[in-house]
Amino acid sequence: MIESAGLPPVVQATALVGVVFVQAVVLYAGYGVLERLVSPLIDRVANTSA
Amino acid sequence: MELLGLSPALLALFVSFGFMVGVLFGFFGMGGSFLITPTLLILGYPAPVAIGSGLAFYFGTSVIAVLKHYDVGQVDYKLGAVLFVVLSIGIELGSRLVFGLEALGVAELVTGVAYVVLLAGIGLLFLRRAYRLEEVTDDDDDGVSDEEIPPIARKIQSYEVAPMLSLSSGGRASLWTILGSGGGVGLVSGLIGVGGGFIRMPAIYYLIGTPLTAAVGTSLFAGLFSGAFGTFTYGMSGGVDLTVVSLLLVGSALGARIGSAATAIVEEDDVIIYFGIMMLLASAGIGLSELGNWLGVGSLDALSVVLLVGSSFAVASIILYQVLASSGRAETTARPTSDGDDRR
């Protein structure tokens, strides 16, 4: 659970939903950027070894 | 040594299990929360935490799915909004039932038995689909297009019990049908911690009666909000382990990308039978865990983890292997000839 034991449960639960939401968006965008950076590199390595 | 309150082995297990679940469900197009909750139960998490964390994981994967398909096809927003309210009521009732069962000391047993039945049912459906795929030829196509409403839904819609709700597809559905099907799906979601997409979408299509494309979009729309509500409900009582959910999401977001990319390379028909078998093994694993608890044999828990986690690892590995094998074959055939042309 979020380290916010002093806050009311409603605030904790809302923060939890927000954290999961933001985390999902960041992961989606982060892996998207990673994919765009890595794909050309993999293609180059594959072409070099072929 | 512990990181984020977990042993390194457990930490690696959650990230890698999330990755494998992501590969599977990116490939087969499902949320995957129905493998997370039983695994957490077998690992000894209390039922409310396992269910709440399963729902939070489902919410995270729903956000990613909506981002991926931000044009969620046709969405019946009015139906989606009504469904969200009804699903939320069902989830709330389901969660209260779980806490009531917890007080009676039978929450783990009821949830475990529900999962044995649910996973075995899904497994048998997939095996039946695999069996039919072998028999069906193009001539056997039932000719139902994505824009048509199935006959059973038309029959249900013909019983006009007021109040009626107009659907964006032009039809009308009784509010009682929506309340019954949405409330039932929500209750199952809240009770056992699944997103319920695999029953919500068929319920919208077959019971409420919208075209398939609208059913998929509306299911996704309603599922996102009901997932948020389920996370909120269990979060209110501290029933979500954010560390576990975060680790699972880290693995699953990457796995889902690879899984959905694999659909362009690997035929679903080639691996669907393994998926059906995996579900049956997962069901057997949970059954063994319940039996172990009943008999007081702790070693059965280890076997059930192997069955549940191992079978999903095995099927995800088959998909990844087929991707690598297909890439290898494609590279061999695409290698240029002496005159510079590709042989492809």
Both structure tokens of A2: 């979020």
Contact yes or no for A28 and B235 at CB 8 A: no
- In angstroms, the separation between the Cα of residue A41 and the nearest Cα of chain B is 16
Rounded to 10 degrees, the C-alpha dihedral B114/B119/B121/B124 comes to -160
Residue B33 belongs to some domain of the structure: yes
pLDDT band at B143 (very low <50, low <70, confident <90, very high): very low
Residue where the block lists tokens 């892996």: A31
Q: Among the residues of B136-267, which ranges form H helices?
A: 151-158, 175-192, 197-202, 212-236, 242-262
Give the number of domains in chain B: 1
Q: Which domain holds residue B97?
A: 9-134+146-322
* pLDDT at residue B43, rounded to an integer: 84
Report if residue B303 sits inside a domain.
Answer: yes
Q: Is residue B246 part of a domain?
A: yes
| Sign of the dihedral through C-alpha B239, B51, B188, B296 | negative
A38 touches chain B (CB under 8 A): no
Q: Is residue B69 part of a domain?
A: yes
- Cβ-proximal residues to B207 (8 Å cutoff; 6+ apart), any chain: B152, B153, B156, B177, B180, B181
> Using the beta-carbon criterion (under 8 Å), do A16 and B56 form an inter-chain contact?
yes
Residue B330 counted as domain residue: no
B139 falls within a domain: no
CB-CB neighbors (< 8 A) of A36 in chain B: none
Q: What is the pLDDT of residues B210-256, one digit of tens each?
A: 887 777 778 878 888 888 988 998 898 888 999 999 999 999 988 88
| pLDDT of residue A7 exceeding 70 | yes
Which helix or strand (DSSP H or E) is residue B174 part of?
A: strand B172-174
Q: Chain A residues with CB inside 8 Å of B250's CB? A: 27
pLDDT of B246: 94
Predicted pLDDT at B149? 73
Say how many C-beta atoms besides its own lie within 10 A of residue B186's C-beta. Answer: 28
* pLDDT for res B73: 57
DSSP 3-state of B164: strand
Does residue B342 belong to any structural domain of this protein?
A: no
Q: Encode pLDDT of B6-17 as tens digits.
A: 788 888 989 998
CB atoms B60 and A23 under 8 Å: yes
Is residue B343 assigned to a domain?
no
pLDDT, position B318: 87
pLDDT at B141 over 50: no
